[in-house]
Amino acid sequence: MKKSRTKPKLTATKIKRILVPFDFSEHSSNALRQAIFMAKCFTAEIDLLHVVAPVYATPTYAGLMPVNDAFYDKQIKNINNSLKKIATDASTKEGVTINYKASLNVIHREILDYAKKRKTDLIIMGTHGVSGVVEFFAGSNAFRVVSESKCPVITVQKRSAAKGFKKIILPVRSELNSRQKVNLVATLAKTFNAEIYVVGYVENSDKTEKTKVVSYVKQVVNFLKQESISHQTSIITDSNFTKAILKLANEQKADLVAVMTSHDFSLDQIFSGTYSQQFVNHSKIPVLSIPNTLEFEYSYANPLTGGMTA
């Protein structure tokens, strides 16, 4: 007698600590507002982090560049005072615990190291925030955080004023790890009562790839039905993943796009043109980037972690 496989159940993703890199720009303020709203929903704490990037003097500009420790100590003290006021005011008004810290380091490295040290569950960061003469979130910093982070990262933009999410784009590709997004996205959908738009992405007209993608989409849909999560589906074929998904997201008026960092943010796509770079830096729609955690141990029975079940 053939044994029936146990249907996978949603394991709600726990979000207890949210890190918000903050540079006092409108972009990072928007990220903080989103973090406060999510912290309330998940009963989480927020860590507010400002990073001062050291400036190294050259013989030509030695007289202009502040390189002594006293200058940075004073700057860090002043920034901590400003962060304290923001954290205190927001905590009092919103009823959320907000910690704060200003550090001197390379921007993306400090964010990643701090997230690891604090065992951060989620990073929410603005893109292209600028303070004074220093660009806090240049494309390289944002992408490095997204591509190297061990926890999920939500990048939000200046115009992303909405709190929470009502429609989430969930791309499904033929790679085994593509469906690792499902558990976290389903958690967000249940938390915010959002609809998930499952889109199977096929890069070319290869029938084998399309058959596999259709099968994976079916697995995800069955899971969403089981969890009573509202959803829609479609299959698209396009040579440019980033462009196709953002186009769909705009058409559907989605407010979040979920991607895997290992495949959906491949180097070829990021550096192939300005449109691809907009996925992180210029998209008006927040992007949830989820790191690959499977490594080489795949599950062939659980469609949330990759497998071949029908």
Q: Is the pLDDT of residue 303 over 80?
A: no
The dihedral built from the CA positions of residue 227, 229, 234 and 238, taken in this order, carries a sign that is: negative
One-letter amino acid for residue 102 of the chain: A
pLDDT by residue (tens digit) across 150-186?
Answer: 999 998 876 555 578 999 999 998 876 666 789 999 9
* Domain shared by 132 and 235, yes or no: no
**Nearest-5° angle of CA 155, CA 51, CA 39?**
45
* Domain presence at residue 310: no
Q: Are residues 216 and 148 in the same domain?
A: no
| pLDDT attached to residue 273 | 38
pLDDT category of residue 130 using cuts at 50, 70 and 90: very low
Mean pLDDT to the nearest integer, 88-113: 94
pLDDT computed for residue 161 by the predictor: 52
Using the 3D structure, point to which of 96, 122, 156 is the last residue of a domain: 156
In a domain, 191, yes or no: yes
Looking at residue 40, its pLDDT comes to: 94
CA proximity to 194, closest of 246, 245, 254, 236:
254
100 or 57: whose pLDDT is higher?
100
Residues 137 and 230 in one domain: no
Domain identity same for 37 and 122: yes
Structure tokens, 215: 């099968």
Same domain, 80 and 190: no
Both 113 and 172 in one domain: the answer is no
Q: Answer for the pair 214, 200: CB distance below 8 angstroms, yes or no.
A: yes
Greater model confidence, 211 or 292: 211
Count, in order, helices (H) and strands (E) of the chain.
Answer: 9, 12
Amino acid 26: pLDDT = 86
Q: What is the CATH number of the domain that holds 130?
A: 3.40.50.620
Tell me the pLDDT of the chain averaged across its residues: 80
Give the residue-averaged pLDDT of 3-21. Answer: 79
Q: Answer yes or no: is 189 within a domain.
A: yes
Residue 237 and residue 128 share a domain = no
In a domain, 7, yes or no: no
User: Does a structural domain hold residue 254?
Assistant: yes
Q: Considering the domain boundaries, does residue 196 fall inside one?
A: yes
User: Three-state DSSP class for 293?
Assistant: coil
- Across residues 249-270, what is the average pLDDT? 74
Residue 206 has pLDDT above 50, yes or no: yes
- What pLDDT is attached to residue 4? 52
The distance from CA 169 to its chain's CA centroid, rounded to whole angstroms, is 13
Domain range enclosing 100: 17-156
Please report whether residue 35 resides in a domain.
yes
Name the domain boundary from 156, 175, 191: 156
Q: Compute the distance between CA of residue 248 and CA of residue 137 in angstroms, rounded to an integer.
A: 26
Q: Of 156, 187, 212, which one is at a domain's C-terminal end?
A: 156
**Domains held by the chain: number:** 2
Asked if pLDDT for residue 92 goes beyond 50, the answer is yes
Query: Percent of the chain, pLDDT > 90?
Result: 49
The answer to whether residue 111 sits within a structural domain is yes
Buried b (16+ CB within 10 A) or exposed e, 92-131: eeeebebebbbbeeebbebbbebbeeeebbbbbbbbbbee
Q: Are 28 and 142 in the same domain?
A: yes
The 10s digit of each residue's pLDDT in 260-302 is: 876 544 444 444 433 334 566 657 789 898 887 644 333 334 4
Mean pLDDT of 227-238: 95
pLDDT single digits (tens) 48-74: 999 988 775 444 444 445 556 788 888
Same domain, 183 and 276: yes
In the numeric block, the tokens 């999510």 are attached to 38
Given a cut of 80, whether residue 203 has pLDDT beyond it is: yes
- Can you list the pairs that 3-9 forms with residues at least 24 positions away whose Cβ atoms lie under 8 Å? 5/301, 5/309, 7/223, 7/226, 8/223, 8/302, 8/303, 8/304, 9/226, 9/227
Compute φ and ψ for 107, nearest 5 degrees.
-55, -60
Cβ density class 190-211: b for 16+ within 10 Å, e for less:
ebbebbbbbbbbbbeeeeebbe
Alpha carbon distance 24, 149 (integer Å): 22
Same domain, 95 and 192: no
Does 203 share its domain with 89? no
Residues 119 and 186 in one domain: no
pLDDT score, position 133: 33
Distance CA 29, CA 108 (A): 18
pLDDT over threshold 90, residue 2: no
